[in-house]
A and B are shown apart, each in its own frame.
Chain A
Amino acid sequence: MDLELASRYIDFREECRSWLQANNPGQIASMDTPEGFEVHREWERVLFDGGWSVPGWPTACGGRDCDLIEWLIYEEEYWLSGVPGRVSANGVNLLAPTIFNFGTQEQQDYFLPKMASGEHIWAQGWSEPEAGSDLAAIKTKAIRDGDHYVLNGQKTWCSRGAFADWIFCIVRTDPEAERHAGLTYLLVPADAPGMERRPIGRLDGEPGFAELFFDNCRVSVDNVLGEEGQGWAVAMAAAGSERGLNLRSPGRFMAAVERLTALVRAMKEQDHDVDARLRDEVTDAWIKAQAYRWQTYQLAAGLMEGAEIGSEASLGKVFWSELDLELHATALRLLGDTGEVVDDNDWLDGYVFALSGPIYAGTNEIQRNIIAERVLGLPRR
């Protein structure tokens, strides 16, 4: 065991920190508004031009070939610096690993650089009205017609779907097959003829996600990722990334708990009473962020030696989503009767967003089933 950072990592952290400081655009509009979406796309371009949009990717695809430790440091610095969030997160964190694993050379050459630069912002089209936790119940059909598929059906809860340029979907290419069989992973351009999208107001009122309607929508067969009929296996490779450290790295929560302790200190300086119970909650959140950090460094050490994350990713997903919720709830309790005021209230925004954590990327109930059955080996039925 060696928990000291080698000097090259310390230099890397410094380089990362000074670049973010120098290029921080400050507060910009929410990415889930039409204008905010485009401002966030510009921020993606700034990151890309600086070489910081996808540091973990190979240099040939716009990255800087960072190892996992560097990537974790980058994430820590990213969130600590207070720069805007990533409108490209769904693509970069969830789709890109799948393209690297399953994409043809042509697909990799075409999609990855455009994703890295923010030219293509991606949304996820997996859930359907009747296929949420039970994802294998997907009904949207894609029937082969020459060199195209013809799509009919509906997707929903499609995050960033209102403004995204591309959607990565799972569709049923074999209508005779049931459940996990006969599914295909398909990349759908947002301007595909026959697709209509309807924004859905999220809990905060912004069009954070969308419904997609396919009415004889034609998509080229070149846009299949992996093999036709192998969609479930291809998708599950990304589900590991989604739940694991890719989507929500510890840096995000480490930064949030630093802001939380700063809030307590600021309140005390202004002679506000912080009762012992709230102080305990704040400390608990701070400790949990460190716990997630060190658990992740432990995972990273294994991954760098060739281990793979399987169902264990579900442990992290439950932990970070509940930590996020608890820490924001604690902040609102600290703010007391001013917590409901929306102006300049990042804690309230953060709380409303955190409420979605235990639901998206597989509800925490599903995650706990996975932990019980696949990590602990309890009987499925």
Chain B
Amino acid sequence: MKFAFTDEQDMFRDTVRDLFADLCPPEAVRASWDNEDGRVPGLWDALAEMGVLAVLAPEDAGGLGMDEVGLVRILEEAGYAGVPEPLMEHAAVAVPALAEAGSELIEAAIGGATRYSVALSGGGPNVLAAASVDALVAEDDGALVAVPADAFTVTGAESIDQSRRLARVELTGECADLGGADAALANDRAALGTAAQCIGVARRLLDATVEYVGERHQFGKPVGSYQAVKHHLANVRIGIEFSAPLVYRAAWSVAHPETHDPVTRGRDVSMAKSTASDAVDEACRAALQCHGAIGYTFEYDLQLWLKRGWALAATYGDARGHRDRVADALEI
């Protein structure tokens, strides 16, 4: 029993964090709101080169052969940076599904040449980046299939987070069967990956707000010196403190099917997503309240993370839905 990350996992996380800080600063996230495809120029190729897309691919398929425990911390950083790419969908769901199906499509996926999103039952009707990706891993009648871009049509749906380019998709052409890949597992991976991003968004909102209330003065002193403001932010910190370990714990469950049957895995993932959704919801509300009117403007960057937080809290199951699944596992 050792609930700690390895030095290797820490170092990889730090490297990716630096990459995001470099290539995906707030200006780049904001630019992705207005450009044609909602992307950050150069980021995807850099992620491919660093191996981030290949974290869950086995080494004999050219991947890094790491597991979900290593990946969730990367996704946490993606949430922190506000990365608009379908990184979670690609790296946490599509790549391992292709690997488990033994599909030769994996090579182009981990190299970044084929950029995937996913269309899963747990993700609702709208698919992230559907119009710009090269392919989907889709759930079709309970089974997973790989769908090239010419085999599905898209109908756009505008998200309040305009860096999340959503669309409804309809499968119209020939799909590659991914027999051997498990749709329930894919849904759990997506919920887990979303939970990790929620933690990152919550941390970003907290950091931004701590900085702001330290600088903003009213009545001759920083607003962050007032107890009412302090207590809002202490609550956000508590929410993060007690949800992040459940995300890591769920990553361990997903990564160890030999000791975690699907019910236990699903319970652990749902614990993670329900608490992470609650944590980011609370972070959004407190961050906006502590910023006051400036936080309510379109111009100020806080809104980028507020809207991401709202979206991710509800995507791949909201807190209440996931608690229902935990309740079922508890047989209450």
Contacts and interface: CB of A to CB of B under 8 A. Distances in A.
A347 interface: no
B199 interface: no
Size class of the contact patch on chain B? 35 or more
Contacts of A2: 1-2
Interface string A211-228: 000000000000000000
Interface string A341-381: 00000000000000000000000010111011101111111
23 contacts: A1-B2, A1-B6, A3-B1, A4-B259, A6-B1, A261-B330, A264-B332, A280-B324, A287-B323, A295-B241, A297-B1, A298-B248, A301-B4, A305-B4, A365-B227, A368-B235, A369-B227, A372-B224, A375-B237, A377-B214, A378-B224, A379-B221, A379-B222
Interface of B: 1-6, 9, 69, 206, 210, 213-214, 221-222, 224-225, 227, 229-231, 233-235, 237-238, 241-243, 245-246, 248-249, 252, 259, 271, 274-275, 320, 323-324, 326-327, 330-332
A378 B229 CA distance: 10
A369 B229 CA distance: 10
A290 B275 CA distance: 11
Nearest to A304: B2
B210 A315 contact: no
Given A290-B249, A379-B221, 15 more contacts: A3-B3, A4-B259, A6-B1, A280-B323, A282-B327, A287-B326, A288-B275, A291-B271, A292-B242, A294-B245, A294-B246, A294-B248, A300-B3, A319-B242, A378-B224
A381 B4 contact: no
Chain A to chain B: the 10 pairs with minimum beta-carbon distance, closest first: A372-B230, A368-B234, A294-B245, A371-B234, A301-B4, A297-B3, A291-B242, A378-B224, A264-B332, A283-B327
Interface string A273-295: 01000011011101110111011
A270 B223 CA distance: 54
A315 B221 contact: no
A115 B44 CA distance: 62
Interface in A1-22: 1-6, 9
A304 to B, nearest CB: 8
Contacts of B229: 378
A6 B1 CA distance: 7
Interface residues of A, number: 50
B271 A290 contact: yes
B225 A379 contact: yes
Contact of A286 (B227, B242, B326): B326
Contact of A5 (B1, B206, B231, B233): B1
Given A291-B246, A378-B224, A380-B225, A372 B231 contact: yes
B69 A1 contact: yes
Interface residues of chain A: helix, strand, loop or mixed (majority): helix
A208 B68 CA distance: 49
B323 A376 contact: no
A373 B326 contact: no
A282 B323 CA distance: 10
A294 B327 contact: no
A287 B214 CA distance: 34
A291 B4 CA distance: 15
A46 interface: no
B55 to A, nearest CB: 15
A376 B4 contact: no
A261 B259 CA distance: 24
A286 B2 CA distance: 23
A315 B241 contact: yes
A369 B225 CA distance: 10
Contact of B330 (A5, A69, A283, A302): A283
A309 to B, nearest CB: 12
A261 B3 contact: no
Contact of A291 (B234, B252, B275): B275
Contacts of A280: 320, 323-324, 327
A5 B259 CA distance: 12
Nearest to B326: A283
A274 to B, nearest CB: 8
B1 A365 contact: no
A4 B1 CA distance: 5
A298 B327 contact: no
A225 B324 CA distance: 52
A368 B286 CA distance: 14
Given A287-B275, A368-B231, A381-B221, A3 B252 contact: yes
A298 B4 contact: yes
A229 to B, nearest CB: 31
Given A1-B2, A3-B3, A378 B230 contact: yes
Contacts of B2: 1-2, 301
Given A294-B249, A372-B231, A379-B224, A319 B4 contact: no
B323 A372 contact: no
